Structure 1
């Protein structure tokens, strides 16, 4: 086979020799050392990995361009080295074809056809350019230089370089839909309404959960300092949080209910505020307080300003009815949901993602968390609105969350009247392989295993064993069925005007 490729009379062989003779006629000089070093820098993708590291330092499109370039390069390298170098063995040029001072030493021992350096170079540059054309244009001279260097140093025949470059371009085009650029999130929108003005906290009663993750001995004092006329109730270990909130909300002095704590504490306070027709002031506190972020009061200064001015808006709430206990003797409980409910592996995914996010950033943390969660996890069999599914995740958001994939992060509108229903199923064959592949390529949102829809009511029933349900971060075990529905604009909350 080597003899056929190198010495055969075919037009490819004649074309190669013609071009190599032209290259060999170039006079020697500093450019020989330049191309030798350029070629060596691209061995094992070192040059492109370094370029990707520099691009990744800039968030947004440069970082996504680096990611797409590396994905395309990996695909091109695998196809070239694993497939075509095995199917198309070919001898490399001999020292007699080029000046000895230019010839690469030691010469690679793998098949000459096709050029892996060229495939990786074109794949990375074109892949990055498809995301950010300016970056692709800047990388193009280096990529073309690497491709040419393989002929200049005698490592490849010209046709090897052309074929490798075509493979690289194909890899960039094939992978262009992997890790697609997320569309921009819609702008924040509020439905303004009237609420009592609370200068210096007059008429405001605040419940502080001392078990909140960020509570310190100075928390209550700091709140009293910014709201000197407010009543502040601290709930200590052993006290009933729900009873304390209800007592505070029902007191005649209370014109508005404030709450300091995490998502579970805020949900309990929201239920009392709806019941007693009180506006709710959500203060930043607790381990996680997503609702404070969504209402625009993620810092104390904004919360104080909104309360003093009486600036408020309306929000939908989710009403959750849970059946627990024995099948013949179920117990029911009603909860208010402000943010999300989930069944399956979603709580583990969120916990891992938030642990990794400071070091890796949101996108990469989500990928790593997905792999860790689903590599060892098992699906749960449930009936959702009368349809039986094997599910990795059932996620219900109170309102549309963005992005529209497996990792919702932002909710710009709090009164859109819908539940955001997302399911990742294991109904299909090769379910785990499909899932991990979609995570690797960033195509979870478009995969057949993902089901996205909106609803005003959802009912989920267990098949056999009771299930575990998380509502606004609070876990409930032994659940046999759950019904979640929307109560439009039931809650008034303080929010600074935007």
Structure 2
């Protein structure tokens, strides 16, 4: 039995020798040196790392194809070298089977069955091709050349190359769902709203929060230059933001409310605008400016024409009713949610990602931040619509966010009438190990631990201890109950895109 493994089954060994005799009959030439060099370049995957590094310079699908190719190549190499080469010992071809000038020197000492070079080559070519067919087609001839070079140089029998190629193909198929390519986001659309024209800022009252992340002494002067007829209220750190917002919104002759600040300040302004039936002009000025981004007014270059021409749209608004304190004597409050709310580890994940992003870039920083978060911290217990869960993250978006997985980024529509509900739970067996594996393979969005749905009403109750709720970046501690509903089309906001 051992002899058969070392030499191969009779008919396989006979076919291998017949093919080698045919190759040995080829006349010598420059092609011998070419295949030796090509084979050597693929040692330890160096060739594929070089190709991937070149492809990574092209952002988008090409870069993702390179990453996927390396994932498949790594799996194929591990399975071949750590598994099958141990289980299937086989001697390599001898110098008598090929001309000496063609024979690789020194010959590898590991088992001949299967070919690790072939497994890596096929895995990389197919792995890249699944994501970017053009790149896969370009790499395929190189991969085929590497596979053939192992026979041409006497490093492997033909059946070793065939078996290794099959392993590579299987590795590419297995990893096909890892780090999947995100489908394109739907186009941005707006539902047109009615708002006053504000030439020069006439009839506009702007509240400026000095705690906004980009506030400087020149901020008010810059706003005064582009809106010379507007009234500008400066909210100092010692002021109550809600009170000052109400003062700005109730000035005589005001036809629109403007706000300069981050998402928390914008939420306060939205509450005042809705109450007084005023259109809202959002000017990005804080650390987080998600609503300004979605509204299309991230810069004055976009905001000024929209206000001047009265270009506006409508947005749904989330209403968050919270109960804090003792169960028999709760303290109740109502909050406006324009963007997102979260419970659990999501704020910690975002904080870690932002710390790592300058050095690693956003995609890799997100992976590292998720791995650290889920490895180090514990889930919490909450009751969602009457069902008890252990969760790492509970996320609610005001509107449908994309991509449709664990990492929402963009919201093309602001009045779609839904709450985007996402949970990453720890209810299942071996939840932490399964979560870490899905983080490493980029399959969190399709994991059984991830639950995605849409709703118009969500009720969340704390488990054994009060929870911390984050709404549009502002934290609310000690929450026992949080109830989320919607007001459809409640907010009119200035937007340069109008109706998409």
Relative to the length of structure 2, the TM-score reads: 0.97
State the partner residue of 2:472: 472
Report how far residue 320 of structure 1 moved: 0.7
| CA shift for structure 1 position 351 | 2.5
Specify the alignment match of 2:379 in structure 1.
Answer: 379
In the TM superposition, 1:20-419 aligns within 5 A as 20-419=20-419
- Per-residue CA deviation, residues 40-88 of structure 1 (Å, 9 max, x unaligned), is 1111111111111111221222122112211111111111112111110
Gaps of 5+ in 1: none
Secondary structure in structure 1 of the residue aligned to 2:348: helix
The alpha carbon displacement at 1:197 in A equals: 0.8
Do the aligned residues in 1 keep the contact of 2:273 with 2:280 (CA within 8 Å)?
yes
- Return closer, same or farther for 1:7/1:247 CA change in 2, 3 Å cut-off: closer
Structure 1 equivalent of residue 432 of structure 2:
432
Contact 2:118 2:147 in 1 (8 A): yes
Q: How much has 1:298 moved relative to structure 2?
A: 1.1
- SS of residue paired to 1:105: coil
Three-state SS of the structure 2 residue aligned to 1:305 is helix
Q: Deviations over 1:400-428 (max 9, x none)?
A: 00000011000011011110000010000
User: In 2 relative to 1, CA 62–8 (structure 1 residues): closer, same or farther, beyond 3 Å?
Assistant: closer
Question: Do the aligned partners of 2:122 and 2:165 also contact (CA within 8 Å) in 1?
Answer: yes
Deviations 1:331-378 (A, max 9, x none): 111110000000011112222333444554443332222112211121
- Aligned equivalent of 1:461: 461
1:440 to partner: Cα distance: 2.1
Aligned to 1:483: 483
Distance 1:364 1:404 in 2: 19
3-state DSSP of counterpart to 2:448? coil
C-alpha distance in 1 between matches for 2:62 and 2:347: 31
> Aligned partners of 2:385 and 2:6: how far apart in 1?
67
Q: For the residues of structure 1 that align with 2:213 and 2:362, how far apart are their CA atoms?
A: 22
Contact 2:7 2:90 in 1 (8 A): no
5+ long unaligned stretches in structure 2: none
1:192-238 Cα shifts (integer Å, max 9, x gaps) = 11111111001111111111111111111100110001111111121
CA drift at 1:389: 0.2
1:474 Cα deviation from its structure 2 partner: 0.6
Deviation, 1:286, is 0.9
8 Å contact kept, 2:5–2:88: no
Secondary structure, in 3 states, of the residue corresponding to 2:492? Answer: strand
Distance 1:18 1:143 in 2: 24
Q: CA RMSD in A?
A: 1.5
Separation in 2 of the partners of 1:378 and 1:409? 25
370 and 311 in structure 1: CA distance in 2 versus 1, 3 angstrom threshold: same
Shift of 1:2: 6.1
Alpha-carbon separation, structure 2, partners of 1:373 and 1:347: 10
Distance of 1:83 and 1:7 partners within structure 2: 19
Instruction: Judge conservation of contact 1:5–1:13 (CA < 8 Å) in 2.
Output: no
User: Comparing 1-10 with 271-280, which one deviates more in the overlay?
Assistant: 1-10
SS, match of residue 397 in structure 2: strand
Q: For each residue in 1:305-324, what CA deviation from the matched residue of structure 2 results, as whole angstroms up to 9, or x when unmatched? A: 01011111111111111111
Alpha-carbon contact 1:2-1:91 (below 8 Å) kept: no
> How far apart are the structure 2 equivalents of 1:357 and 1:55?
22
After superposition, the Cα gap between the structure-2 partners of 1:7 and 1:251, relative to the gap in structure 1 and judged at 3 Å, is: closer
Give the match's secondary structure for 1:64. helix
Deviations 1:409-465 (A, max 9, x none): 000110111100000100000101111222222222221111111111111111111
Structure 1 SS opposite 2:26: coil
Q: TM-score, normalised by structure 1?
A: 0.97
Q: CA contact under 8 A between 2:468 and 2:476: conserved in structure 1?
A: yes
Query: Do the aligned residues in 2 keep the contact of 1:6 with 1:13 (CA within 8 Å)?
Result: no
Q: Tell me how far 1:9 sits from its aligned partner.
A: 6.5
* Matching residue of 1:452: 452
Report the CA distance shift for 1:2/1:145 in structure 2 as closer, same or farther (over 3 A): farther
Query: Is the contact made by 2:274 and 2:491 (CA closer than 8 Å) also made in structure 1?
Result: yes
Helix, strand or coil: the match of 2:102? Answer: coil
